[in-house]
Structure 1
Amino acid sequence: MDLILWRHAEAHDHPDVQTGRPGDETDMARRLTARGEKQASRMAAWLDRQLPDGARIWSSPAVRCEQTAQALGRKFKLREELSPTGSAQALLDLVQWPQQGKSPVVVVGHQPTMGRVVARLLGLRDDECSVKKGAVWWLRHRERDGIGQTVLVTVQTHELL
């Protein structure tokens, strides 16, 4: 199974930095900045060349994630499990990790959930990994000698494209 974690591109800050909370109504409505739109477009062009036609794509319902996913130009589904307050386990349950599947799964979501998923799959502490805005982490599950392994296929950022 291939799991591609794509953190949303740069978005406008929450207007109420003092009392605003991840997942509140204002947070969910935050849009990408002009720079974030360019980041999403560059990453989407690269990702589109790598993905087979049958890839499943899921996104957080936050507007900034939806805009990031739209840059790919493919059909995707919004999933509440991927909201800013979602957990790493909810994401892994949604994608049914590590079941073998022929088609990759792309998840557009948020930090710290993305970093926690990467950390869990690579055997790190939850707080040891942070996923940069707009970046893609491509992970693969495979079996070797009857033992499941997670392979880091690539990490890509818009600056390197």
Structure 2
Amino acid sequence: MNLILWRHAEAEDTASSDLARQLTSRGRKQAQAGAKWLRARLDDHVTILVSPAARTVQTVEALTDQYRVVREIAPDASASDVLGAAGWPDGIAPTVVVVGHQPTLGHVAARLIAKSGDSWSIRKGGIWWIESRARSADSDPALREAVLKAAISPDLI
């Protein structure tokens, strides 16, 4: 399974509610850059899960209109909520993109890669690609490891 964590792009600081916050003009450019990078790398067997926040929906719409809004990955979700929604480590699809928030995505990355309870910083518009794989062909499926395939910020795209 490939799990791609995509933090929403830059959003305005205030709105009528946290879920209503919209992308800034810089955020729209970040979303376009991330979408272009992903578009060149994603295959047809991808499932995209998005927080119900307006800023995450606007971020993913730079890539596609084929996504599922999932309440379990809203702001303040837990790493377990995100991993459960994605079906880690086997996946609900060969590749799952989760468009969400900090610090949750940072918790997911730290938990999978370092088996840590910390939260790593994922920049706004940043993309982290993590792969679940067995250590060897004959190893126990429960002994899968998480491998970081890419960590990129929108400034580098």
TM over 0.5: same fold? yes
Aligned positions of 1:86-125 closer than 5 A: 86-99=77-90, 103-125=94-116
Distance 2:119 2:48 in 1: 26
Divergent runs of 4+, >4 A? none
SS of equivalent to 2:128: strand
Identical amino acids, percent of aligned pairs:
44
* 1:125 Cα deviation after fit: 3.1
**Structure-1 separation of matches of 2:133 and 2:115:** 19
- For the 8 Å contact 2:103–2:119, the answer to whether it is kept is no
Query: What is the CA deviation profile of residues 56-104 of structure 1, one whole-angstrom value per residue up to 9, with x for unaligned ones?
Result: 0010000000000100024001000010021110110111100167621
SS of 1:155 mapped into structure 2:
strand
Matches of 1:100 and 1:63 in 2, distance apart? 25
1:7 corresponds to: 7
Unaligned runs of 5+ in 1: 16-24
**Contact persistence 2:13–2:21 (CA under 8 A):** yes
Q: CA RMSD in A?
A: 1.5
Q: How does 1:132-147 map to 2 (within 5 A)?
A: 132-145=123-136, 146=139, 147=143
TM-score with structure 1 setting the length: 0.89
Match of 2:144 among 125, 135, 148: 148
CA contact (8 A) 2:104 2:119 kept: no
Counterpart for residue 158 of structure 1 = 154
How many positions carry a matched residue from both structures?
152
TM-score, with structure 2 as normaliser: 0.91
CA distance in 2 between counterparts of 1:102 and 1:63 reads 24
